[in-house]
Amino acid sequence: MRTENEKLVDNFLKEIKKQLPDWLKNNDDKVEDILLEVSSHIWDSAQEIAGSDDPDPASIQEAINRLGTPKEIAKSYKKRGTPKYFISEELWSIYTKVNWILISLVFTVIVIVQVVIVEPTDFVKALINGITLSYPIIITFIIIILAIFVGLSYEGYFPEDLGSVDAIQGDTKDKKLEFYKPDEFLFNGLVGILFGFLIIILPKDMINLIRIIINLIIGLFGGNTMATISEYVNISMELQIWLTLIGIVAIITGFVNLLKINTKDLKFHLTTNLILIFTGLVDFGLSLYIVTNLHLFSEVLPLSVNILFFLGIIGVIGTVIDIFRTVSKNIQLFGLLNEEESYQTS
């Protein structure tokens, strides 16, 4: 049975472990060394305070107080990396690459839409429109990426800490589950937010882009292609609301994926996956709605009812698969969490 002194020390060490940065928490050996060092320091200091071989709880508490709070101790392990503005020098090259890829992607997509669909006969005007429309979206993305990398730098992350595989503690230490995939989170996050913004801000252009893609597919099979939508064709208010809701869900999903980059904490990933399950259910409902209201798309996509129904069913199936994938990940994460907690309490 643990003594009161041991309980005081153990509780203090547990609080320190909670406050440690995520890149360090996932290295069991380093964490164990840190806690062992702190524990030894507490016992030595308490013995010195008590002036005897058997320090009492008061001297243990005094030794703990002299060390500082768990947050202050853990903060010293976050001071990692070479400062460069608000982002560490170690992460700076990745940060700049992500920004350039993002700017190029957003600008290219919007300019292509303008050149191919909106202003096919006036390249200069299309280019100006592309710059005008992409500017606010690019600024928004840059702010988001900046916030992510500032957070990673503050926590002391290095590029190698953003690995994909996370190990389980305890008797299952040799088991590995690939639940932390920063590259996948970043890609899904950026694509989701970009798609959401475009479908809300440029719904007609996005529908025209769908028409072009369908025309290419139909053309491959020698069918009759659809005419492009005139710039002045009206999109019904009901369809506009539907597209806006789809865009909002995509933006929320994108933000959630970006938030997952900043931590490997199992509980956090469980919570964010629950949000993704909810957004998936909303997507499922929106997909079912459009399948039962095909007239909304038949006004802007003059395809047969059977083809529209087929496309709608594919959308429904896609959302169901996505929901099941997320649920499956959460079941695995829940199992990992239980194993980790069982090990800590044993």
Highest mean pLDDT among 60-69, 181-190, 221-230, 273-282: 273-282
Q: Are residues 11 and 107 part of one domain?
A: no
The pLDDT tens digits of the residues spanning 83-119 come to 666 787 777 778 888 888 878 877 887 777 777 766 7
In a domain, 193, yes or no: no
Q: Does the pLDDT of residue 183 top 90, yes or no?
A: no
Q: How far apart are CA 124 and CA 50, in angstroms?
A: 82
pLDDT category at 246 given cuts 50, 70, 90 is very high
Q: Are residues 298 and 253 part of one domain?
A: yes
Q: Are residues 304 and 177 part of one domain?
A: yes
The pLDDT tens digits of the residues spanning 133-160 come to 777 778 877 887 888 788 777 777 767 6
- Mean of the per-residue pLDDT values of the chain: 76
Q: Are residues 97 and 56 part of one domain?
A: no
| Average pLDDT for 52-57 | 72
Q: Are residues 341 and 217 part of one domain?
A: yes
Q: Please identify, among 40, 55, 75, the residue that sits at the C-terminal boundary of a domain.
A: 75
Predicted local distance difference test score (pLDDT) of residue 222: 58
Q: Buried b vs exposed e over 262-301: b needs ≥16 C-beta within 10 Å? A: bbbbbeebbebbeebbbbbebbbebbeebbeebebbeebb
Let me know: does 118 contact 126? Beta carbons within 8 Å: yes
Q: Does the pLDDT of residue 313 top 70, yes or no?
A: yes
| Average pLDDT for 9-25 | 77
In a domain, 59, yes or no: yes
Predicted local distance difference test score (pLDDT) of residue 217: 67
pTM of the predicted protein model: 0.59
| Average pLDDT for 193-200 | 86
Tokens coding 16: 């320190």
In a domain, 26, yes or no: yes
pLDDT category at 174 given cuts 50, 70, 90 is very low
Q: Are residues 146 and 100 part of one domain?
A: yes
Q: Are residues 94 and 70 part of one domain?
A: no
Q: Please identify, among 75, 99, 119, the residue that sits at the C-terminal boundary of a domain.
A: 75
Please give the residue range of the domain that contains residue 133: 81-162
Tokens coding 302: 């003059």
Q: Does the pLDDT of residue 284 top 70, yes or no?
A: yes
In a domain, 195, yes or no: no
Q: How far apart are CA 277 and CA 287, in angstroms?
A: 15
Q: Are residues 268 and 133 part of one domain?
A: no
Q: Are residues 223 and 101 part of one domain?
A: no
Return the higher-pLDDT residue of 147 and 171. 147
Q: Are residues 344 and 204 part of one domain?
A: yes
Q: Are residues 218 and 301 part of one domain?
A: yes
Return the higher-pLDDT residue of 214 and 193. 193
Q: Which amino acid is at 221?
A: F
Q: Are residues 91 and 170 part of one domain?
A: no
Cα 249 to chain centroid, rounded: 14
DSSP 99-159: HHHHHHHHHHHHHHHIIIII-TT-HHHHHHHHHHHHHHHHHHHHHHHHHHHHHHHHTT--G
In a domain, 194, yes or no: no
In a domain, 36, yes or no: yes
Predicted local distance difference test score (pLDDT) of residue 146: 82
Cα 167 to chain centroid, rounded: 20
Query: What's the structural domain count of the chain?
Result: 3
Predicted local distance difference test score (pLDDT) of residue 249: 93
In a domain, 216, yes or no: yes
In a domain, 101, yes or no: yes
